């Protein structure tokens, strides 16, 4: 349904992002069949301040996906019923903001490709400035705002991220700042 790859930078920034590291093999390292969690993919050192990443491929949101998500998590008429949604403030079917957040997380995980995983610690200024409609194609832009080693957890780093999800017309459908923790690559066994 979704596939993503990685651009070195949306702005052709020359800063090192680790994307061309010999150790990067394009595998997510997060699915079964991998006995060594730490054998693949990227870590804290690969995301210095100023790094910009773009999810190369995108995720197309179908009406069916919008409705299925809403049935389980956000059963409101503007997320559930294309006809009745026209009578609401959205003037048509729109994805739940939490659905957009989930789809964006998928793009984030696939794009970051962090060995051992990346854990969200807190999110601020989460906004959904434009509705996501059936057929919209979403891309994620990631910028690393801060990066530091964890004091309390040796072997981990903490990065502050600005995540912006855009539709096929370049309109922002979601944005937020977040702190996330991820393993330091050089501390791998």
Which residues are near a copy of itself by CB under 8 A? 1, 28, 30-32, 37, 69, 72-78, 80-81, 84, 87-90, 96-98, 101-103, 105-106, 109-110, 116-128, 153, 156, 176, 181
Q: How far is the CB of 147 from a copy of itself (least distance, A)?
A: 18
In angstroms, the CA 152 to CA 146 distance is: 17
- By beta-carbon proximity to a copy of itself, the closer residue of 49 and 121 is 121
Burial zone of 84 (CB within 10 Å; 0-12 exposed, 13-18 middle, 19+ buried): exposed
Q: Are 129 and 117 in contact (CB under 8 A)?
A: no
Q: How far is the CB of 96 from a copy of itself (least distance, A)?
A: 7
Q: Are 180 and 143 in contact (CB under 8 A)?
A: no
Q: Three-state SS string across 18-85, please?
A: CCCCCCCCCCCCCCCCCCCCCCCCECHHHCCCCCEEEECCCEECCHHHHHHHHHHHCCCHHHHCCCHH
- By beta-carbon proximity to a copy of itself, the closer residue of 63 and 121 is 121
Q: How far is the CB of 64 from a copy of itself (least distance, A)?
A: 13
Neighbours of 135 (CB within 10 A): 11
- By beta-carbon proximity to a copy of itself, the closer residue of 19 and 181 is 181
- By beta-carbon proximity to a copy of itself, the closer residue of 8 and 185 is 185
Burial zone of 12 (CB within 10 Å; 0-12 exposed, 13-18 middle, 19+ buried): exposed
- By beta-carbon proximity to a copy of itself, the closer residue of 9 and 38 is 38
Q: How far is the CB of 112 from a copy of itself (least distance, A)?
A: 10
Q: How far is the CB of 188 from a copy of itself (least distance, A)?
A: 13
In angstroms, the CA 8 to CA 142 distance is: 11
- By beta-carbon proximity to a copy of itself, the closer residue of 21 and 74 is 74
Q: How far is the CB of 80 from a copy of itself (least distance, A)?
A: 7
């Amino acid at each position: 349904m979704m596939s993503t790859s990685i651009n070195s930078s949306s702005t052709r920034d020359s800063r090192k992002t680790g994307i061309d590291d010999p150790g990067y093999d394009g595998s997510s390292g997060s699915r079964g069949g991998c006995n060594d969690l730490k054998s693949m993919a990227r870590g804290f050192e690969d995301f210095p301040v100023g790094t910009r990443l773009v999810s190369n491929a995108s995720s197309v949101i179908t009406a069916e996906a919008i409705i299925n998500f809403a049935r389980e998590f956000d059963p409101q008429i503007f997320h559930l019923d294309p006809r009745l949604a026209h009578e609401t403030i959205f003037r048509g079917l729109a994805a739940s903001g939490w659905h957009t957040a989930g789809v964006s997380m998928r793009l984030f995980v696939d794009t970051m490709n962090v060995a051992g995983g990346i854990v969200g610690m807190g999110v601020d200024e989460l906004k959904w400035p434009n509705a996501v409609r059936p057929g919209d194609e979403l891309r994620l832009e990631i910028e690393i705002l801060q990066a530091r080693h964890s004091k309390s957890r040796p072997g981990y780093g903490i990065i502050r991220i600005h995540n912006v999800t855009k539709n096929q017309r370049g309109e922002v459908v979601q944005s937020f700042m977040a702190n996330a923790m991820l393993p330091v690559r050089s501390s791998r066994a």
